[in-house]
Amino acid sequence: MGDFMIVAVVAVALVFAVRGMVKRGKNGCCGGGGSVAVKKTLEGEMIAQKVLTIEGMHCENCKNRVERQINKIAGAVAKVDLKRKIAVVSMSRMVEDEELREAVERLDFKVLKIEEGRVA
């Protein structure tokens, strides 16, 4: 009977461990390999900046994923500060807040706020 209980506890722990690994592996977060972010430069003159406060980024891979996703938007270039949990988006055309929010939240992160930044 005692052996059965030990095997049952180990089996339950193993199931939870595998589920966690699969979840992290699916979105590539926190330990999921990841690739080096390709640096995008802004085409044209910077006309505005926005600062997005983002919840849920934990690692360099999270940072790279957010930068790549925002960089897919025409006229936008992102620089993520992982420690401050923000993305500074420089724009050569006006990009709506909702477009930025959707791009980030598509990755299962949460945008807490979007503020106007300073043009350098």
Instruction: Check residue 120 and give its pLDDT.
Output: 46
Residue listed under structure tokens 């350098």: 120
- Cβ atoms of residues 37 and 99 within 8 Å: no
Mean pLDDT of 2-15: 79
Output the CA–CA distances (angstroms, integers) from residue 6 to 11, 12, 20, 111, in the order listed.
Answer: 9, 10, 21, 43
Instruction: Check residue 78 and give its pLDDT.
Output: 96
Helix residue ranges, H only, 28-59: none
pTM score above 0.85: no
User: What tens digit of pLDDT does each residue of 55-84 get?
Assistant: 999 999 999 999 999 999 999 999 999 999
Instruction: Check residue 114 and give its pLDDT.
Output: 96
Question: How high is the mean pLDDT of the chain?
Answer: 85
- Cβ atoms of residues 67 and 115 within 8 Å: no
